[in-house]
C-alpha cells in the first residue's frame, strides 16, 4: 500500500508534459471534528493517488485545507469521492481562474496541529460564531460604504502584487502576525464601523472573523470564497471589479491575473513588475519580484553572491550546502537586505 510519493518533482513534470492532458487547479477547506487525522490522511492519499490527483493538503483534528490539481477527465470521480465524506458533501470548490497542468508536482497530505497556522487558542472563544459571509455584489456594496473598514488578511508579499481598492494591507510575514496588529490599529472602531475582511479563498477569514467578534467587534463581514470566488462572480454577473493586480496563489503558478494593473515593482531595479520568482541558488530560494531584464542580468538570482554560487557545478553547490540548515531567507518571503527596492 503506497502512502507517500515515489516520483520526484522532475519525474512527475516529465510525465505531465508527456500526457498533455487538461488539469483543474482548485482548493477547498472545511472545519470539522476529525477523530483520527492520520487515518483520514491515509484514506485521502490512497484514493487521490489512484486518481492522479496532486497537491498540498493539511489535515488536523479541526478539519482539512486542500489545494489540488485534478485531471479534468477524472473530476466527476473526484467530486463523487469527496461528496461521500459527510463533512465534505457539496463543499464549495474554489476553481482557479487560470489553469496550469504543472501547478502541483506532488501529492502531499500532511497531518498538522491546525489547518491554518493562526497562533490562536481555540478553547478561549467560540470559533463557530463567525462573521457574516457576503457574496461579490454585497461585498462591493459594503466597501463602497464610508462606514466600512476593509482589511486584507493576507501577507505582505501577497497584497504587494494585488489587493482590493482602499484596503488596509498589513506589512506582515504570516497570518498570525496580522491578528493583533489589526486589532490594535482598529480598536477605536469596534462598535461604529463595519469590519470587512478578505483573503485568497476564505479560510483565513473563517477563524479571524470569529476571533474579532470575540474581541468585541460588532459588525464583522467576510468575503465568501475569497478573491477566487469573487472574481468568478464578477465575471459571471458582470459586476464592477474592485480588485487590482494579481491574486497570489501557493502553487507553481504563483499568481492569477485579475486586472491588467501592475501595482508592484521589481525588487532589484524598481521597474513596474509583479512576477514572483525564487532565487536560482537553491541554498537561498528567496521569493522576490524580478523583471525579465534583471532575471537575465542576474541569472535568476537575488544577489551577486547567489549568482556566483548558482554558476558553480551542481556537486560543488551541494558540497557548500552540506551540513547547513535551510536558510531563513526561505521563510522570509520577499524580504532581504540584498533587495534594493524591498527590505
pLDDT 10s digits, 87-135:
999 999 999 988 899 999 999 999 999 999 888 888 888 888 999 999 9
Given this model, what pLDDT does residue 4 score? 79
* Burial degree of 49 (CB within 10 A; 0-12, 13-18, 19+): middle
Widest pairwise Cα distance in the chain: 62
* Burial degree of 147 (CB within 10 A; 0-12, 13-18, 19+): exposed
| H or E stretch at 73 | none
CA angle 265, 269, 273 (to 5 degrees): 25
Domains of the chain, start order = 9-111 (3.30.70.100), 132-232 (3.40.250.10), 264-342 (no CATH)
Q: How much is the average pLDDT of 268-278?
A: 97
Between the two ends of the chain, the Cα-to-Cα distance in Å is: 47
| Parallel, antiparallel or unpaired: strands 63-71 and 54-60 | antiparallel
- 328 pLDDT higher than 50: no
Given this model, what pLDDT does residue 343 score? 57
Q: How much is the average pLDDT of 47-68?
A: 97
Q: How much is the average pLDDT of 68-85?
A: 98
Q: How much is the average pLDDT of 140-152?
A: 97
- 325 pLDDT higher than 80: no
Residue whose cell numbers read 519580484? 289
Long-range contacts of 36-45 (CB under 8 A, 24+ apart): 37/61, 37/111, 38/111, 40/64, 41/109, 41/110, 41/111, 42/3, 44/109, 45/3, 45/4, 45/107, 45/109
pLDDT-derived band at 332, boundaries 50, 70, 90: low
Given this model, what pLDDT does residue 321 score? 82
Percentage of residues of the chain with pLDDT beyond 90: 83
Residues assigned a catalytic role: 199
| H or E stretch at 195 | strand 194-198
Rg (CA), the chain: 21
40 and 88 Cβ atoms separated by less than 8 Å: no
Count of CA atoms in the C-beta half-sphere (13 A) of 38: 0
Residue-averaged pLDDT of the chain: 93
- Number of Cβ within 10 Å of residue 269's Cβ equals 15
44 and 2 Cβ atoms separated by less than 8 Å: no
Is the pLDDT higher at 119 or at 169?
A: 169
- 188 pLDDT higher than 60: yes
pLDDT-derived band at 326, boundaries 50, 70, 90: low
Given this model, what pLDDT does residue 1 score? 65
Q: How much is the average pLDDT of 155-166?
A: 97
Amino acid at each position: 500500500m503506497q502512502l507517500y510519493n515515489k516520483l520526484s518533482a522532475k519525474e512527475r513534470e516529465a510525465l505531465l508534459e508527456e500526457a498533455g492532458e487538461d488539469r483543474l487547479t482548485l482548493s477547498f477547506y472545511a472545519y470539522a471534528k476529525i477523530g483520527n487525522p492520520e487515518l483520514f490522511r491515509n484514506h485521502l492519499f490512497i484514493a487521490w493517488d489512484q486518481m492522479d490527483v496532486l497537491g498540498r493538503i493539511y489535515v488536523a483534528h479541526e478539519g482539512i485545507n486542500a489545494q489540488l490539481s485534478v485531471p479534468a477527465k477524472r473530476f466527476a470521480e473526484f467530486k463523487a469521492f469527496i461528496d461521500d465524506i459527510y463533512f465534505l458533501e457539496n463543499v464549495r470548490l474554489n476553481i482557479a481562474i487560470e489553469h496550469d497542468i504543472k501547478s502541483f508536482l506532488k501529492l502531499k497530505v500532511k497531518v498538522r496541529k491546525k489547518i491554518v497556522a493562526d497562533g490562536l487558542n481555540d478553547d478561549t472563544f467560540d470559533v463557530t460564531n463567525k462573521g457574516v459571509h457576503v457574496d461579490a455584489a454585497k461585498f462591493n456594496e459594503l466597501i463602497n460604504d464610508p462606514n466600512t473598514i476593509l482589511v486584507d488578511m493576507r501577507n505582505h508579499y501577497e497584497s504587494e502584487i494585488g489587493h482590493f481598492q482602499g484596503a488596509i494591507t498589513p506589512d506582515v510575514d504570516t497570518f498570525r502576525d496580522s491578528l493583533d496588529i489589526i486589532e490594535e490599529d482598529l480598536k477605536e472602531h469596534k462598535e461604529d464601523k463595519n469590519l470587512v475582511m478578505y483573503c485568497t479563498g476564505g479560510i483565513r477569514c473563517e477563524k479571524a472573523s470569529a476571533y474579532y467578534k470575540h474581541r468585541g467587534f460588532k459588525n464583522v463581514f467576510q468575503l465568501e470564497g475569497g478573491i477566487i470566488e469573487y472574481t468568478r462572480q464578477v465575471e459571471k454577473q458582470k459586476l464592477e471589479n474592485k480588485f487590482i493586480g494579481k491574486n497570489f496563489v501557493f502553487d507553481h503558478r504563483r499568481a492569477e491575473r485579475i486586472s491588467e494593473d501592475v501595482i508592484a515593482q521589481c525588487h532589484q531595479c524598481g521597474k513596474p513588475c509583479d512576477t514572483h520568482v525564487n532565487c536560482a541558488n537553491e541554498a537561498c530560494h528567496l521569493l522576490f519580484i524580478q523583471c525579465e531584464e534583471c532575471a537575465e542580468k542576474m541569472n535568476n538570482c537575488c544577489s551577486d553572491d547567489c549568482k556566483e554560487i548558482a554558476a558553480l557545478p551542481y556537486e560543488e553547490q551541494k558540497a557548500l550546502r552540506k551540513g547547513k540548515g535551510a536558510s531563513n531567507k526561505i521563510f522570509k518571503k520577499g524580504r532581504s537586505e540584498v533587495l534594493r527596492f524591498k527590505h
